[in-house]
Chains A and B, each alone.
Chain A
Amino acid sequence: MEPLQLVTSIVTPLAKKNVDTDQIISKEFLKRIERTGFGKYLFYHWRFDESGKEKPDFVLNHPDYKESKILVAHENFGCGSSREHAPWAIADYGFRVVIAPSFADIFYNNCMKNGILPIRLPVHEVEELLAKPQLHVTVDLPNQQILGKDGSLYSFDIDSYQKKMLLNGWDEISLTFLYEENIAAYENAQNSKTAS
């Protein structure tokens, strides 16, 4: 996983609430057995019409946001299906940060495993960001801050364990292997319980 420290970019405003993972990545793209290459299918039915042409009024298709690394949306982002293809598509498209007032639990975890930083901000701060469509910001994970080019400043909370994982880009499975003795001990205790 690629470590994440500072991300600087224009902010893409997606003013929708309850964006579900079916919209982020539609089921017809879940048949692939690879982990990469999902970016071109991100928000597919919002981005493209039936003939595969870009819909000009969808925010991701606006030329200003083509290189954006930061997405902002309303409440309960990523609800519904547990498909990790959703964060794979978001990351592969180029986003490293998603900001919203709240996230669905499984999606939030899935982001963390893929080097995407999900940031929860209060509703009024998210609305401020959504209202400034040309805003460039730097997301500073070590200091847990978002610094706007216009001088605005927002602080965010993140669990210290998840922060460390993201900053270092650690592979969680290798870390868990350090606890092999504990896992084996747990299993032995269970076995002797059922055998008695």
Chain B
Amino acid sequence: MAKTIIEKIWDQHVVVREQGKPDLLYIDLHLLHEVTSPQAFEGLRLAGRKVRRPDLCFATMDHNVPTINRAVIRDQIAKKQIHTLADNCKEFGIELAGMDHPDQGIVHIIGPELGLTQPGKTIVCGDSHTSTHGAFGALAFGIGTSEVEHVLSTQTLWQARPKTMEVRVTGELGYGVTAKDIILAIIAKFGIDMGTGHVIEYTGDVIRNLSMEERMTICNMSIEAGARAGLVSPDATTVEFLKGRRYVDNEKFSELEAEWLALATDEGATYDSVCTIDAAEIEPFVTWGTNPAMGSGISNSVPKPTDYADESDQLAVAQALDYMGFEGGEALQDVSIQHVFIGSCTNARLSDLMEAAEVIRGKHVAPGVRALVVPGSQTTKKQAEELGLDQVFLKAGFEWRESGCSMCLAMNEDVVPAGERCASTSNRNFEGRQGTGARTHLMSPAMAAAAAIEGKLTDVRNFRAVGV
């Protein structure tokens, strides 16, 4: 029978299937970071348990790390958390790319970079953006700390079989429209809980033509659509990206390649539900509210609560506008911003930095705007520096930082002050996400770069036409 890639990977990993129970699923790769792991390791210690397969675990430090001077962590509680991860990795024999390691970076950036992420693997991490790894045709999803402990001690998880959803992107992308705009448009169109209980497969010509970096941006935000996992069937682009990577068994590459390509969804396989979007209807996107579905094309205005029929939507929009400092009806292109953040596991890969650099080359950040570039990993940072991108950013008035999560969640010192606005390439615009009272507008790297230059939200398509 024709199967989707989701069913194929699932069936290959079932260890136990019994009536009236979820399936016991084997986990091929367990990624760890400092924030969601300490209580799991402590649980192991208290129960006298060991890590079953330390060789299938890989850890890094990203959420809490300083991005200016690695040596100075003023927050003593954060410092302790970072040291705790190092101690735990040592005690349990887990490979760690620590703060000063050349492989350090945001966990979802370094997995693919090192070639740990591969098609057909089941991948988990105590982090909801684990969905990123789905870009490779892996079944990758975020778990809680109790589940982290469960995987550490048994290398398995009890999981109910998910429903499958196809999100098909048809047609052709317009000028200046990026992967970030596609995923923001999908979430705005179908809702923040469209994918609850499902694993999404992204299909269609538009997705096929995307690079691996762009596919990662889309899969990354599957969780913002409510889906624990989102993936893309492997193809030549996937294979090409992985060739020669450090953790790939390159001696057996041709065998691996055949295995990977065979995972792709079979012709005629069916999904539990299907959503379709025409790329032609997508323009550069920005969010105006307090969840990622509250967004719209840049040529529109901030909506009013009365634009919505449903009473609970009216209430939610009114609360969002109140937090965001909007009346409703303002043109999005008139909204001035004080901060720009180019970073996060959604958009801090080399191609993202190149996209932003292209927009700002030869220009300068608007007066009164503080703009940050935080590369996703040390490897990305080095590659960007080799291309001279750091100089492009620095000359334009951006700060050039060490890698980490930084202002995506503002756990370290990179914080947006209350009441101020940030044009951000990250994935969440929840209340307080970038700092208490801070107001986040999500967008692509090109749009954020253009906002930095203009000091307000702006349409990168016009910007390029005038600026070049």
Contacts and interface: CB of A to CB of B under 8 A. Distances in A.
21 contacts: A16-B319, A22-B430, A22-B431, A23-B431, A27-B410, A31-B80, A33-B42, A35-B39, A35-B43, A76-B192, A76-B196, A79-B193, A82-B144, A83-B36, A84-B36, A109-B143, A110-B144, A110-B146, A113-B146, A173-B153, A176-B154
Interface stretch (A64-72, A142-150, A178-186): A178-186
Contacts of B226: 76, 79, 104-105
Nearest to B227: A105
Interface in B23-71: 24, 26, 35-36, 38-39, 42-43, 47, 49, 52, 63-64
Contact of B26 (A15, A17, A183): A183
The 3 A-B residue pairs with the shortest CB-CB distance, nearest first, are A113-B146, A84-B144, A33-B38
A105 B196 contact: yes
Contacts of B16: 179, 182
A16 B320 CA distance: 11
A31 B430 CA distance: 19
A33 B84 contact: yes
Interface size classification for chain A: 35 or more
B340 to A, nearest CB: 20
Which of B47, B52, B156, B193 has the most A CB atoms < 10 Å from its CB?
B193
Given A31-B411, A35-B42, A22 B428 contact: yes
B196 A82 contact: no
Nearest to B146: A113
Which of B197, B228, B430 has the most A CB atoms < 10 Å from its CB?
B430
A20 B430 contact: yes
A106 interface: yes
B377 interface: no
A164 B22 CA distance: 13
Contacts, number: 159
Interface in B190-208: 192-193, 196-197
A15 B84 CA distance: 39
B48 to A, nearest CB: 12
B430 A80 contact: yes
Interface string A10-42: 000001111010110011101111110000000
B123 to A, nearest CB: 14
Contact of B142 (A31, A106, A161): A106
Interface string A80-124: 111110010000000000000011111001100110000000000
Given A31-B77, A105-B228, A161 B196 contact: no
A57 interface: no
Interface string A148-161: 00000000000111
A182 to B, nearest CB: 5
Given A76-B196, A176-B24, A179-B15, A84 B146 contact: yes
Contacts of B154: 173, 176-177, 183
